[in-house]
Every structure is written in C-alpha cells, then in structure tokens.
Structure 1
Amino acid sequence: MADPKGFMTTPRQDWPRRPVEERVRDWDEVYVPGALLPIIGKQADRCMDCGVPFCHEACPLGNLIPEWNDLVSREDWWRASDRLHATNNFPEFTGRLCPAPCEAGCVLAINQPAVTIKNVECAIADRAWEEGFTEARPPDRLSGRTVAVIGSGPTGLAAAQQLTRAGHTVAVYERDDRLGGLMRYGIPEFKMEKHHLERRLEQMRAEGTKFRTSTAVGRDVGAAELRARYDAVVIATGATAWRELDVPGRELTGVRQAMEYLPLANRVCEGDLRTSPLSAAGKHVVIVGGGDTGADCLGTAVREGAASVTQLDIYAQPGTERDEDTEPWPTYPRIYRLSAAHEEARELGTAPAADADARLFAASTLRLTGDVDGQVRSLHLVEVDAQRRPLPGTGRAVPADLVLLALGFSGPDRTDGLIDQLGLELDPRGTIARDASFATNVPGVFAAGDAARGQSLIVWAIAEGRAVAAAVDRHLTGSSRLPAPIGPYDRPMAV
C-alpha cells in the first residue's frame, strides 16, 4: 500500500476519451493516446490493499489486483507485469473489453467510486509491450503429446498458450480467414485496434503454437479424423448461434443480424473491402437489443454516416446508483452506463426519438413494415412494463432502412457438423455438456468457453481457457502445474 491515504485524497480519474467530433471520423481507439500513464500512478494509490480484497472474488481470473496496484504506484513496471501475467494471458484485451466486475467488487466502491482497476491493468499491459517484458516463453522440452484447439477466440487462445508452454504440441483451428474469433470480426476497431491481437499471435507462434485458418472442423476436416489425429481436442468455438426476432416483417430486405453487419465493417478496416455491403451510410438504423453488441453496432453505424440510429432495450432504464436490496455490493449491478458509442450518439443527436442517448428503454418490437419492393422502412414498437407486457396506447413507429438484431446468442453453431459428427451431448440450454474436469462424453474431447458455459464475458472466456488447459494437461500426463482459476460450474457472484 504505497499511499495509505490515497483513497481519501485522490478522486477517481478515468482514461479520457478523445472528443466525439474527432473520433467518429476515424476507426482508432476512442481514448486519448498517452493520456493514461500520467494519471495511473495516483489512481493505483487509491487501492486500499484490503484485508479481504473482494476484487479477487469478482474476477474469475483471480487477478492479484492489490499487488500490481502497489507496484504501479511505485513505478515497478516489470514486477507489475509479472504479477498481472501470472493470472491473465491477455490483459491488453481485458483492459479494453471487459466490463470490469472487479471494480464492482472493489471495497472502496461501497461508498466511493471504485479504483480504476481496468485502466491500471491496461496501462501495465501496454507498458509491458513497450518495455519488452512480454518475450515469448517456449517450453524447455516437449511432452510428445498433441492437442487440437478448435476456435481462436479468447478461450481457445488462452488454452493453446497454456498447453504450448506446458510442452504439448498445439494446433489451433479457426474457420475464419484470420485468427481471433469475435475479437477479430465482432469487436469494432474503435474498441480494440487489432494490432493488440496480432502481437499476441506472434508471441504464440514464437512459443510454438501452430495455427490453421480457413478450416472449419466438421466441414473442411472431419471431426472424427481430427480426434484420431490428436491426443486431446479442446472445443472452444464460442456461442455463435444468434437469437432471432420472431415478428411479422422479419423477412424484409434490410433486416440483418448484428454479426452479419459487424464483420463487414471490420473487413473494411482490415482492407478487404472498400465499403461494407451493409453500410449504414445515409440510412435510418434501428438496433434491436440493449447489450454491448448493440452498442458496437451503434458506434459502427455512427462512423459509417447513418442518417439516424436508435437502439431498443426491452428493459426499463436503470438508475445511476446500485440497488442495495436487489444487487448488493459486491455483485455486478445493472446501472445506467454511458459507453463511448452512447456518448457519441447523445452528443450528435443520432436518435431524435430517444430521450437522452440513442436508447429507447422498455421498448418491444411489434412488427416491421416495408415498401412495395420488400425493403424494410419502419419498425413498430410498444412500451412494456417490468414483465414485458405491452402498455396500451404506447405504440409508435420509427423509420428504419436497416434493422440490426443484437439479441445475443443461444449456444454453439451446429451448421459445420462438429457436434453431430463427434456425437457430443448437449445440456438443456443447448450448450455442450461437460463434467467437473471440462470433459465431454467423448473420451479425450474437452469443451470450454461460451460453447459450454453459454454467452459470457471475455474475462470468463480467458479463465475457462486457462482452466481447461490444466484439465487437458492432467489428462495427458497424470498431473498438472497449470493454474485452474475456475471450475466449469462456477458462476459470477449473485444474490
């Protein structure tokens, strides 16, 4: 605890964002470059080094947060990086993309703004790359065992890196043409520039991990053939089967899934396309779904030059303070949060129908209507109560030339044939069933991440990857020294 009075003398200060008018004209990250390091030492000083640090419990990775806060305060960046990477393979990803349940569990958050844990984490990760603290760590010797990891999202990459470092020969199979899963084509560039992903992939290659892109297991290579070729298989394909909107007019042209829309915008940033075939430029856009994916669509549509953008959230607008009766500390509360995309929409006035930012709360879609050519033109909605029952007299229509469905995901995609070819059992939710050691009903086949857990956060995905790696290592060698931060049945803290 570098400054025992830091939490009393220093107010919370977040990494400042670039001005809205500037950042919506490009696809660079929204934060002011270089503005974090001058403030982060004092922010780390606010950590109280609690006797029982609930930030540990709130984070499934078990990040040693008070330790690296203290080291950052003392500007000991090498040791801070060492402590951070002891529990997290990819802190520059979580430092940008995780909603920070650790901050909700910060003891200081009982009656003050929490420590900026996420910002400190990001500062350490970026400084580690700048100072060369992230050298490749190839194993001293090989075990002679082989592992196939299917899926290159955060779960698959974490599992692959852990198993490679343990001495196993690991090959990662990815059905897309580039690695990264949703981090590559689902997360917009303005939230995480892809060079952060590329340098981790280069580190993994230097350690010995092999990658096979444009290879859908079950279609391009048989699942049974792959199982016979490797000593163990880890399925980390994510939960990419999107939920549908069952309303009249769904078949109209211009009604698309968010994960059809976002990858095309990312491909423009990658240089594959000059413009997106689904570009929002000049269109009235309505996003159905109030989560992070919807916000990603919002920020993307704003940058593409949409005429208007409105986001529908079926839940009522939450308050700005935690409800201690229903969501007591240290659980992660549902409160009103203003993402960078919503801040942009508010300042630019992208949604005339909305009250504050682009969101219409407690709004449910009734139907979609179009023109004589079958192109969507309007979305008809109604306000709902807490039980999602329509409120009489609240129906209205909003213009819509492009409707994006951001309703989340129900489980792993089965169209490639992987699940059926292996004969994997599913649980009642439609995700891959597994036992307490992450093993499926097929010997030697393990499942981790959203494909088995269901749709979750990136920090849980990485924790799953680390944990399944320990289980596979134990299966192959009889024991394991790899850390296993969570079990397959662990869940976030809740009342």
Structure 2
Amino acid sequence: MSTPTGFMEYKRELPVDRDPLERIKDWEEFHKHMSDEQLKTQGARCMDCGTPYCHTGIELGGSASGCPVNNLIPEWNNLIYRGLWKEALDRLHKTNNFPEFTGRVCPAPCEGSCTVGLIGEPVTIKTIEQAIIDKGFDQGWVVPQPPKVRTGKRVAVVGSGPAGMATAAQLNKAGHHVTVYERADRIGGLLVYGIPTMKLDKQVVQRRVDLMAAEGVEFVTNTEIGKDISAQELVDGFDAVVLCGGATKPREVNIEGRELNGVHLAMDYLNGTIKSYLDSNLEDGNYLSAKDKNVIVIGGGDTGTDCVATALRHGCTSVTQFGTHPKAPLERDQVTNPWPQFPNVYTLDYAQEEAKALFGADPRAFSVLTKKFVGDEHGNVKELHTVQIERYVDETGRKIYKEIPGTEKVWPADLVLIAVGFEGPESTLIDQLGLAQDRRSNVKAEYGKYTTSVDKVFAAGDMRRGQSLVVWAINEGREAAREVDKYLMGSSVLP
C-alpha cells in the first residue's frame, strides 16, 4: 500500500483539459498532462484493498465492472507513488498490450468499481495508466522485442483493430509468423477510422504499429479478405486464421424520409473527415462538412458524441444530439445501479462540454423519438419531427417506448447523422467460409475458446461478441492468441 490514509488525505484530481472554445479550432488531443508529483499523490489514494474490484473485469448490470484486461492497478499505483516508473511500465505491459489506447479512449470501468468510490471519489486510474505508457515512450523504454526463436508456424489475422493488433502482438511474441490483413489504407481499424483524432492522435497508433512491425509482424493494407483474396485461399495458405473484422455493419433506422439528401450514417461522416484530415489536413474536401448547417445527431452513445465534436470543428450553426434514454441522475442509484456496477450518472463528455461552451447548453435531448424526416422541393432534408417518450420494461424484459401526447416538436435540420449502433459483422467472409453465427449474426465462437465451426479458424473481438469496448477487444485478442498457440503447439506460455 502506498500510504494507508492516502484516500482520506488527498482529493481526486484529473488533468486540466484544454479550453473548449480553443480546442474546437483544431483536431489535436484535448487532454493536458499532470506532473509527476501530482500523479504520485493520486497513486497514494489507492488503498491496495484486500479484494481489488478495479481489475476484476466482469459483466454486471449490462456493462463492464472492473478492468477487462485485468490490469494490476494497485501494483502500478504503488510503484508510481514510489517513483518507480519503469517498473510500473513493466507491470502495466504484463496485462495490456496497448495502454496508450485504453488510457485515452476507455470509459474506465476500473474507476467505476474502485473501492474508494464507495465513500468518495475513485482513484484517478485511467490518467495514471496513460501517464505510465507515455513516459515509457518518451524515455525510450518501449523498444522492439522480437522473439528469440521462431516456430515456423504462419498465422493470418483479418482486421487490424484492437482485437487484431492484440492477437498479432501475442502470437508474434510466441514466435509465430503473423500477417495482419487490413482493407483500409492504414493499420488500426476503428482506432484510426472510427475514433476522432482529438480523442486519439493517429501518431499514437502508428507508433505502436511501427513497433510491432519492427518485432516481425507483417501488415498488409488495402486488401479485403473475401474480395481481393478469397477466404478459402487464406485458410489454405496459413496454419491458423483469426477473424477480427469487427462489427462494422451499421444499424439503420426505419423512418419516413430516410432517403432524403443530407441524411447520412455517422461512420461515413466520421471516417470521411478523419481520412481527409490525415491525407490533406482537410484541404482535399473529400468529406461531409457540417459548416454553417443545423446538425441533428440521432444516437446518444460514443459515436454520436464524436459526431457532435466533429460538427463543432467543421463550424456548424447548431448541433443537437437525440437519445431515446432518459437523462441520468446526478448521483448513483444505490438500488438499481449499486457499486461495483459502472455508474450510470449524468456527465458531460468532451463534445457536450464543447457544445455547451459554444452554444450555452448541453446539446443532448433525452427521451426523444424521431418520427419522420421532411425535405424541401429539391429532396434535401430541412426538418425532423419528434415526440417525447417514456421507456419501461414489460414482463418479458423487453424495453417498451410509449409516446407522450402533446410533446410533438419540429427541429430544423440541414444535416442528419444516424448513430444508433451496429448490427454485427459484414457477411462476405462469413458466407464464403460457411461459418456458424449466433442469433445476433456474430461469428459463433465460445468466449475463452474462440474456435469457430471451421477447423483452424478462430474469431475474436466485436466480430464474435458484437459492438463493445476497445478494452474488451484487447482482452479477446490476447485470449484468442493463447488458444491459437495451444492449437498450433499443443500448449502455450501466453497469459
């Protein structure tokens, strides 16, 4: 334990973010950094409790409780308190291949289950995690570590998102020759095309890709398995294949007027902006712009939030984010949302904070159902018609939405972005291999085993579990690598 009374002596502190009205003028990361002394103090708040729920990594109340990659949080908190940064980095890398990603984009279920959070504010775990890995790179401690012995086995990984990268990193560590196939022009999957640069600088992703390449992982871009290379050809050419293609099929909405110009899927909007920014700093104009437009985002999750932030940086006239869920309470409900469940409380994410600073109010509208889109004489969307709803659960557990009479409203809109989630993986590769699927269309493979219905083909990440967190993808990539190693060698030393 760092200090027995640290959680009573010191208050929780977070790094100061850049001013919202300044950061919306660029596309750079919005977090600032804390000093080593501040981080030491925050590490001192960790109790090293007898049962550290922060790294349990289980599902409670429909969401993660504790760290899904089982980070040894009390151990590296104590090492930071003692000033042993390099040792903390070694401890962090034992469980997490990419703490520079999770330290930036993970919602931190570890903090939601922190024991200190029972009686006060939780330990600043996520901030310390990012600080450890960033210092590791800055000090030159993170260097390529290629395996000393190669097994001669060849493994193909389809998809270079967090699950694919974790799988590849672990299998390469075990000495196998690993080739990662990515259909986009850059490696990283949703880490590159899906998460805006202000949340995750793409140089941070490329830095890790370069490190893995130096360790022997082969990356192949602009190659879609199932089209450029048949799925069977891949299976025939490798000793094992791991499918980590993600859950990239967007969920549509069945709303009147969906065909109007100006109504787009959120990922098309986000990815176009990211690619144009990376290619030309937006100078090529190859993206949907929200400049001088009234923007409506349908969807209250992270993707919708990223659309709000992107629209603000484009220079929109207004932006509103619809959610069918009610506004969360200011404090955790100890009956319906008890510790150590992830706390469902009202917060302002970075984009909502920016919109409030610019326009004076939280851009979110809660418990809203869109009834129809209405267009002008040229087929361009001009307004949305909505109604307020009440949500309840029936006796079978289904969520039922009941419209509230008299709450109809018309919203002006020049650009509508649909961000209501994903239905599962795309079907091309699945159909070619004849893979069994679960009731949600994901590739059928048992958690912890990752074997599909086709010999020597494995599946991990969102392609197997459905849309989820980056940290769950890393968890599954690491575990799948261990199972592949067992399949190839009979046993495995991978964790």
Matched with 2:27 is: 27
- Please give the per-residue CA displacement for 1:194-248, whole angstroms capped at 9, x wherever unaligned: 1110110011001100011000000000000000000000000000011011010
Matched with 1:316 is: 326
Matched with 1:82 is: 90
Q: Percent identity at matched positions?
A: 49
Q: Quick one: which of 438, 443, 446 aligns to 1:427?
A: 438
1:58-457 → structure 2 map (5 Å cutoff): 58-272=66-280, 273-274=282-283, 275-349=285-359, 356-387=361-392, 388-414=401-427, 417-435=428-446, 436-457=448-469
Matched with 1:9 is: 9
Secondary structure of the 2:403 match is coil
Letter in 2 for 1:362: S
Secondary structure of the 2:264 match is strand
Residues 2 and 47 of structure 2 are in contact (CA less than 8 Å); yes or no, is this contact kept in structure 1? no
Letter in 1 for 2:406: G
Alpha-carbon distance between aligned partners in 1 of 2:165 and 2:240, rounded to the nearest angstrom = 16
Matched with 1:467 is: 479
Report the Cα offset of residue 359 of structure 1: 0.1
Alpha-carbon distance between aligned partners in 2 of 1:260 and 1:328, rounded to the nearest angstrom = 38
Residues 1:482 and 2:484 aligned together: no
Alpha-carbon distance between aligned partners in 2 of 1:114 and 1:269, rounded to the nearest angstrom = 36
Alpha-carbon distance between aligned partners in 1 of 2:279 and 2:419, rounded to the nearest angstrom = 25
Report the Cα offset of residue 142 of structure 1: 0.5
TM-score normalised to structure 2 length: 0.95
Alpha-carbon distance between aligned partners in 2 of 1:160 and 1:271, rounded to the nearest angstrom = 27
Alpha-carbon distance between aligned partners in 1 of 2:344 and 2:2, rounded to the nearest angstrom = 32
Matched with 1:353 is: none
Matched with 1:487 is: none
Q: Figure out how many residues of one structure are paired with residues of the other and give that number.
A: 475
Alpha-carbon distance between aligned partners in 2 of 1:342 and 1:218, rounded to the nearest angstrom = 40
Matched with 1:42 is: 41
Residues 15 and 36 of structure 1 are in contact (CA less than 8 Å); yes or no, is this contact kept in structure 2? no
- Please give the per-residue CA displacement for 1:133-168, whole angstroms capped at 9, x wherever unaligned: 211110111001000000000000000000001000
Secondary structure of the 1:404 match is strand
Matched with 2:396 is: none
Report the Cα offset of residue 264 of structure 1: 1.1
Unaligned runs of 5+ in 1: 351-355, 484-495
Report the Cα offset of residue 36 of structure 1: 4.9
Secondary structure of the 1:29 match is coil
Letter in 2 for 1:426: Q
Letter in 2 for 1:291: G
Secondary structure of the 1:155 match is helix
- Please give the per-residue CA displacement for 1:374-424, whole angstroms capped at 9, x wherever unaligned: 00110111100023211000010111111000101111012xx21111110
Residues 276 and 287 of structure 2 are in contact (CA less than 8 Å); yes or no, is this contact kept in structure 1? no
Matched with 1:493 is: none
Alpha-carbon distance between aligned partners in 1 of 2:489 and 2:86, rounded to the nearest angstrom = 33
Secondary structure of the 1:43 match is helix
Report the Cα offset of residue 321 of structure 1: 1.1
TM-score normalised to structure 1 length: 0.95
Report the Cα offset of residue 276 of structure 1: 4.3
Alpha-carbon distance between aligned partners in 2 of 1:223 and 1:428, rounded to the nearest angstrom = 23
Matched with 1:490 is: none
Report the Cα offset of residue 172 of structure 1: 0.2
